[in-house]
Structure 1
Amino acid sequence: MAMSIDCELCIIRSFQQSDERTIAQHANNKEIWLNLRDHFPHPYTQADAQQWLESIVGAIPEITFAISVDGKAVGAIGLVLQEDIERCSAEVGYWLGQAYWGRGILTAALKTFTRYAADEFKLTRLYAVPFLRNTASMKVLEKAGYQREGIMRRSAIKDGQVIDQALYAYIPAY
């Protein structure tokens, strides 16, 4: 069953194969790529969008969703559910098309998605590890109720550079 949650500034909803064009359009941006994991390609082509959507549309459990504005998928938000002794935790990740930055859309989406994910998956901890240089993402996390727990020094390599990451977490109040 398709999921849809109104966040006022956007809608978080299930992806559809028809989102291919707008995902490719907004994801093909080096500024976005520089702040994401390497499995997110650059340049980001229509074929990349098609392949990615084929891998997530209809997946069970559904853990990756569109951030939709005016009926168009302009970003994504999702989880990496942890396993074994960390099965009550999940890493949250997101991106938003640059044309939509600075409007509070991502903060609204993350606040709403965090509550949804904690309840839906019975999570006791959600966390994110933005690159330390990504101050905009850290502000989004803080506005959404995540707290900075520390800095993971020299923990990632992106675009040929060894960089630091911050560790943010949200602990639901049950």
Structure 2
Amino acid sequence: METPPSIFLRPFDLSDAEDVLKWAGDDDVTRYLRWTSVKTVEEARQHILQTAIPHPWRRSICLLKDGRSIGCVSVRPHTGDGRCRADLGYAVSRQFWGRGIATAAVRMAVEQAFEIFPEVVRLQAVVEVENKESFGESWV
């Protein structure tokens, strides 16, 4: 695996719509996610407004060199009796697959999650059996 590009995490903004369309419009990227691909810039804007911004903790994975959004990482705490757990998820532009981006983003998210959600003691990620690429991630 080559050295991953430098990344940072930040909240989504409506100005991300064109970048989000590039990766969230790819059916291969969204295949194992809970939401379907966006097909237009307007759908990307609506996704940001209705899904990304109101989410308890969803961050844009951005390239340090230009701030461009190339994916997302999220932490969603459970409620009620399960509030000590949270689900972790991520998606990365196909252009950056196999370069350690998801691993780096998940590590950053894990560091922040336990500070932001002090009641959480367990982060868990569900990986579909068919999603063999995610099994290779070394962040476990």
- What's the TM-score once normalised by structure 2's chain length? 0.86
Secondary structure in structure 1 of the residue aligned to 2:49: helix
> Aligned pair in 2 of structure 1 residues 91, 45: CA closer, same or farther (>3 Å)?
same
Q: For 2:62, which of 64, 68, 87 is the aligned residue? A: 68
Among 88, 104, 110, the alignment partner of 1:108 is: 104
Query: Once the two structures are aligned, what percentage of the paired residues are identical?
Result: 26
Q: Does residue 1:11 correspond to 2:5, yes or no?
A: no
Query: Within 1, Cα distance between the matches of 2:42 and 2:85?
Result: 32
Which one scores higher on RCO, CA 8 angstroms, separation ≥ 6?
A: 2
> For residue 10 of structure 2, what is the amino acid of its counterpart?
R
Q: 1:43 to 1:64 in 2, by over 3 A?
A: closer
Contact 1:79 1:93 in 2 (8 A): yes
What is the root-mean-square deviation in Å for CA atoms of aligned residues? 1.9
Counterparts of residues 40-55 of structure 1 (less than 5 Å):
40-55=35-50
Distance 1:119 1:138 in 2: 27
Runs of 5+ consecutive residues of structure 1 not aligned to the other structure: 1-6, 146-174
Flag the structure with higher strand content.
1
Corresponding pairs, count:
133
Shift of the 15–43 alpha-carbon distance from structure 1 to 2, 3 Å rule, reads: closer
Amino acid in the other structure paired with 1:103: R
Runs of 4+ residues deviating >4 angstroms = none
C-alpha displacement at 1:33, in angstroms?
2.2
Separation of aligned partners in 2, 1:116 and 1:65: 11
The answer to whether the 8 Å contact 2:30/2:91 transfers is no
Q: Distance in 2 between matches of 1:13 and 1:62?
A: 13
> Aligned pair in 2 of structure 1 residues 8, 119: CA closer, same or farther (>3 Å)?
farther
TM-score by length of 1: 0.70
Counterpart residue type for residue 52 of structure 1: H
Corresponding residue number in structure 2 for 1:82: 78
Q: Partners of 1:73 and 1:115 in 2: how far apart?
A: 20
Shift of 1:44: 3.1
List runs of 5+ in structure 2 lacking aligned partners.
none
Higher helix share: 2
Deviation at 1:134, TM superposition (A): 1.0
Larger radius of gyration: 1
Query: Is the CA contact 1:81–1:89 (under 8 Å) kept in the aligned structure 2?
Result: yes
Verify the 8 A CA contact 2:56 2:75 in the aligned structure 1: no
Q: Tell me which residue corresponds to 2:139.
A: 144
CA distance change for structure 1 residues 44 and 127 in 2, over 3 Å: closer, same or farther? farther
Q: Does the residue aligned with 1:26 lie in a helix, a strand or coil?
A: helix
